[in-house]
Each structure stands twice: as C-alpha cells, then as structure tokens.
Structure 1
C-alpha cells in the first residue's frame, strides 16, 4: 500500500513535496533567530519600562522584570495631559514633516534618477558624478551654508525650512537611477510610437513598473525623516514646532530626567514607521534587489 502511494506521488509532479531542512539551513535559521531576539531586546526593555514609574527606573535601572504591582498606564496618560499636551504637538510635527518630505523627495528623486538612466544628453555623466560626490559629503559640513540659506529666504522655524534643503536626496537619486537602468527600453519606444508624451510614458508606463523601488525608498526615506535630529534641531526654534526626536531628547537634562514621558513617548514613536513598513513590505525586498542592477 505504501509502495503504491509513493509511486503515485512520484508520478504526479504537482503533488506537494515534503520540505526537508538541511543542517546548514537549520543552523542559519537559529542564527537569524538569535539576531532577531538580540534586535528586539532593546524594544522589549523600553516597552516594559514604559509602564513603570520613573522613580523605579532611577533606583533599579532599565530591566526586564515584570512587576504588575507597580505597572500602570499612568505614563501614557501623562503624554496627553502634561505641559498642555506638548507631546501631541511634537507628534503632529513629525508626522507632517515626514509625510511631506517623503512624498516630495520620492517624487523628485524618481524623476531625476529616471532621467539620468534613460535619456542621453550632454553632461549626464557629470551630473551623476556630482550626485555621488554629494553622497560622500557629511551633513555636518552642509549645516552652516544650509542655515544661512533658510535664514536668507526666511524659512527658519517652519516646516519648509526642514523639508526643502533635502527635497532631492542624492541617495534616493542614485537608487532610482540604478533601478531605472534595468527598465525595458522597448516599452519607452512603444509609447513614443503610440504618440504618448515623455511625461505620459513616465507616469503611465514606467512608474507602475518602478513600484518596488518606490516601496523600498518610501520606507528608507520615511525612517530618515522621522529619526532626523541634527537639521530639525537647527532649523526649528520654538517648542511647539519641535519634532518628536528633539522633544524626547529635551526630556533628558542635567537637572533631571523625565523617564515617565521618555519611555512611553518612545514606544508610541515607533508606530508610524511600523505602519509605513507593513504597507510597503512586499515591495521592500524586491525593490532593493532589482535596484542593485548595474549598467
């Protein structure tokens, strides 16, 4: 009986096959599991500490001990009631800046990268070299001229002053250019034959094909904008306009540390990035892989 079942299974190529784990695969899975636990450990510490009073963390430090008798939601309530709800202002500022900066940078960088990859024009290679050079320049070197620029055009302490200097990030231009190099050129020629304009070819034909690149770069750019500290700290002045990383950092002072708001606020600050990742996770890996095509 078993012999006949094995023969029938071998004869049927569509029959499901048993998945066999090799020793090397099992070792790799255990190593990746260990790295995952190591990566999630700080967030677990932060999550547990967010339910404890700040005085407890000062006495015993950040630990993983669950103490139901002292854990409560009081720290989260303090975020929305203390200091006239300043945390909500920080959260709103970060969401607005991250949204507009991500949309603007992705839209413009994709067009620049596509043009550098598809069109042949004089100075194209020089522009691409300039993009590579700017990628290697540390942001600390650009802070002073950028600050003078936004002061001269009166954009200090505004959303635009934070967003516009990084509206076309060179990393995103390089990424989209490398992705667009592998796009099928026959589709462009077919669109031109059908009478479609260059913008029509890009928006109707090529942009849907570049969806994996858009998904991957959306996650990376949103993380960069959400976690940015140096430039918003210089461009923004008033407490109401501060972003979330700056506001949380201001809770740590030489005169006292507000661990109650710091831990609970840090936990809630992870939510938008998690949402962005889950909305674009299908395109993330494929976008990074295809974007590595070289000319």
Structure 2
C-alpha cells in the first residue's frame, strides 16, 4: 500500500514538475521559433503564437554570421567582461568570505555587518558615487570600469563565508604543523574543499554579469564597447526595428549561459547546501 502511494505521489510530482518546466520554457520556445521567421513577417506582426510554418528559414542567422559585424563585437565584449568578472569575483570574494569564517581579528563582526548592510542597499543608490569614482579614475568606457565594482560582490562574500563555516578547521592546524603558510593552506587545502561553492557562485555571477544592463549602460559610451544587452537594445529605435538581428541574436545569447551551467551543474546543488561538512 505504501509503495502504491509512493508511486502515485512520485507520478503526480513528475507531472507537476513537467507542467512547471513547460510553462517556464514556453516563452523560450516561442522566441526560438520566431528567430526562424522572415524579418518582414516579424516587422508586420511581431512575436505571436500563430504564424506560417512554411516560411520558417535560417536567413536571420545567416545575416548575423555574414553581415551583423556589430553584433559579434558586442558578443566578444560580453564574453570578456563576464569571464573576467567570474574569475576575479571568485578569487577575491572567496578569500574575503574564507577570512571572515575561519579567522578571528579585531573588527571582524563589524566588517561582516557592513557586508550584510550593503546587501540590503539597492544598487541604484550606489550608482552615482560609483560612476563618480569611474570618472575620477578615468575608467569610463573601459572593461575595467564595468568589472571593478563587481569583483567583490557582497552576496558572494556572504555565500563563501557561510560555506567556509562548515570546513574542517583541523586540517588548518595539521597544515600549520607541517610548515604550510596561510596562503598555502587556503589555496592547496581549503579552496579545493570549497569547489562546490565556487561552481555554484560561478553560475550565479556569470548569469548576473552576462545579463547586466544598467551599470554597463552607464559606464560604456561607444558602440564598439557595448555589451550584448545594450547592443540589442539599440536595435529598437523610433526610426526602425532590426527584428531579424534582435530575435536571432537574443537566442544566441543563451548559449554561453547553457555552456556555463552544463560545466558547473554538478557543483550547483552541492554548493547551495552551504556548509555540508562540519569539523
């Protein structure tokens, strides 16, 4: 009887999750199908649920690969900014979070309080002083101007601290007895144990950086420095709408995120458990 109830519950759960997944993926499916529609039809009727299937073609993608030079520059800019942001954010945020978790020093709780406080402050409030800093530093319209404010994200510091609280501290004592330095303990022993948290945060930071629109819009000035979200937004103007590049280009922007998730997916769930190992 219990087995029958268990199978019924599992079946209902699977059906429910299938329906939720379909609802979530339905807009993506419509966007994908619309990317194969002729640009003239997109201009006339926009994205809709009803269209002539016989008119589907790959002309929009051919246009992107052969004529849309600006699109690929935006793509490269987004890739460079996202990769740099992920690498630097994981490096510095993990060090800060680790230090807040395993070391005792004067002002530790106060510092962590500032991290939590900044988490509660909307980014829109910080934009003006950050932009003034970029102007003073001469970093407007540069990759550094986009990346630097994001490399020590409060959410990442908080996340790594919570994960590091569950690390076995006995390993640190054993490494010190063997003569290892504090940097050696972190990079050779503790950081490998934090791999699940690094994988989870790489996905979250990569997704945030790839889709970031507001801050790059403020810092970047020239068309050849635009990221994908900004560049695609410029295709919609009062003087004309390039739906052929916009729709097909939007579909292709999903590819790096899918690759990133596939690469780190085995760490994602484990990383979100935060501190599964107790010393």
Matches within 5 A, 1:197-236: 197-236=181-220
**Structure showing greater relative contact order (alpha-carbon pairs closer than 8 Å, 6 or more residues apart):** 2
Per-residue CA distance 1:148-203 (angstroms, 9 max, x = gap): 10111101100000001111000000000000000011111111111111000111
**Which residue number corresponds to residue 44 of structure 1?**
29
Q: Let me know the Cα RMSD of the aligned residues.
A: 1.9
| Structure 2 unmatched runs, 5+ | none
Residue among 232, 236, 252 paired with 2:236: 252
> What is the Cα deviation at residue 70 of structure 1?
1.4
| Structure 1 unmatched runs, 5+ | 1-17
1:96 aligns with 2:80: yes
Q: Indicate if the aligned counterparts of 1:90 and 1:243 stay in contact, CA closer than 8 A.
A: yes
**Which residue number corresponds to residue 28 of structure 1?**
13
> What is the Cα deviation at residue 57 of structure 1?
2.5
Cα distance, 1:252–1:292 mapped onto 2, change above 3 Å? farther
TM-score, normalisation: structure 2: 0.94
> What is the Cα deviation at residue 30 of structure 1?
1.2
Q: Indicate if the aligned counterparts of 1:227 and 1:245 stay in contact, CA closer than 8 A.
A: yes
> What is the Cα deviation at residue 80 of structure 1?
3.2
Farther off after superposition, 22-31 or 101-110: 22-31
**Which residue number corresponds to residue 119 of structure 1?**
103
**Which residue number corresponds to residue 53 of structure 1?**
38
Q: Indicate if the aligned counterparts of 2:43 and 2:241 stay in contact, CA closer than 8 A.
A: no
Matches within 5 A, 1:147-162: 147-162=131-146
Q: Secondary structure at the match of 1:69?
A: helix
Q: Indicate if the aligned counterparts of 1:108 and 1:168 stay in contact, CA closer than 8 A.
A: yes
Alpha-carbon distance in 2 for matches of 1:125, 1:155: 33
Q: Indicate if the aligned counterparts of 1:213 and 1:291 stay in contact, CA closer than 8 A.
A: no
Q: Indicate if the aligned counterparts of 1:50 and 1:263 stay in contact, CA closer than 8 A.
A: yes
Residue among 246, 253, 272 paired with 2:256: 272
Per-residue CA distance 1:52-74 (angstroms, 9 max, x = gap): 12321243332345744311111
Alpha-carbon distance in 1 for matches of 2:167, 2:271: 13
Q: Indicate if the aligned counterparts of 1:91 and 1:244 stay in contact, CA closer than 8 A.
A: yes
Q: Secondary structure at the match of 2:37?
A: coil
The structure whose Rg is larger is 1
How many residue pairs are counted as aligned between the two chains?
276
Q: Secondary structure at the match of 2:55?
A: coil
Per-residue CA distance 1:197-231 (angstroms, 9 max, x = gap): 10001111111110000000000000000000000
Cα distance, 1:292–1:151 mapped onto 2, change above 3 Å? farther
Farther off after superposition, 73-82 or 212-221: 73-82
Farther off after superposition, 70-79 or 169-178: 70-79
Residue among 51, 54, 57 paired with 1:72: 57
Q: Indicate if the aligned counterparts of 1:178 and 1:293 stay in contact, CA closer than 8 A.
A: no
> What is the Cα deviation at residue 290 of structure 1?
2.6
Q: Indicate if the aligned counterparts of 1:131 and 1:174 stay in contact, CA closer than 8 A.
A: yes
Residue among 123, 131, 134 paired with 2:115: 131
